[in-house]
Each structure stands twice: as C-alpha cells, then as structure tokens.
Amino acid sequence: MFHIYKGESSHDCLHLVGENAIEVFHVNDYVTTMKPGVITDADRIYAGDGEAPIKKIVGLLKPSSQPVILSLELFNKTLYQQDALLVAKTGLAKLKALNL
C-alpha cells in the first residue's frame, strides 16, 4: 500500500500484473496529509488507521487462483517501542476488522 502511494502509482494498474505473480503483499496504511515526496517508511501505520484504499487494492489481487499472503509491514518508531507481541496482535485484529 505504502509503496503504491509513495511512488505515486495508481492501484488501478494492479490488474496488469500477471495472475499469480504476487504471492506476498505488504499491508500497511498512510495518511494523505503527508505528500508522497515527504512520507517515509517510518510514517507507515496500522492497516485501517489511515486513508489507503485497502479493500479496493486487496480486491484487485483476489482474482489469483492461489491465495495471496498479506504481510503486515510497519517501520514506525513509535510501534518499535511497544511490545512486539502486542503490535502483532493489534495489527492482526485491525486486518481482521477490515474483512478482507
């Protein structure tokens, strides 16, 4: 999600990627008050806490005949200071709440 925004790419182009070409997709979120040229890896937040069109993006990946693994990817220093298990459980709960 983050790299699509950071690279100013359109998520609508994901359908151009060949079927089964994406096996693992990194999931995170961002706020659009930080422009693509300014936002950094450290600004990634939990999926569902920002403005990324997560459901739409994941929906574009679903036509695959094999499951796509969603990997929570956060480089947020505030989250690094927290207990890793708590961060993992919180991230999983937020992903499940999105009903992907």
The pTM of the full predicted model, rounded to 2 decimals, is 0.87
Q: Is 45 helix (H, G, I), strand (E, B) or coil?
A: strand
54 has a pLDDT exceeding 80: yes
Distance from C-alpha of 43 to C-alpha of 60, rounded to nearest angstrom: 25
Q: What is the pLDDT of residue 92?
A: 97
Q: Is 29 helix (H, G, I), strand (E, B) or coil?
A: strand
Domain spans, the chain: 2-97
> In whole numbers, what is the pLDDT of the chain averaged over residues?
92
Closest CA to 30 of 52, 7, 57, 3: 52
Local structure of residue 67 (DSSP, 8 states): P
The larger pLDDT score, comparing residue 32 to residue 16, is at: 32
Averaged pLDDT, 64-70: 84
CA dihedral of residues 63, 65, 66, 71 (deg, nearest 10):
-10
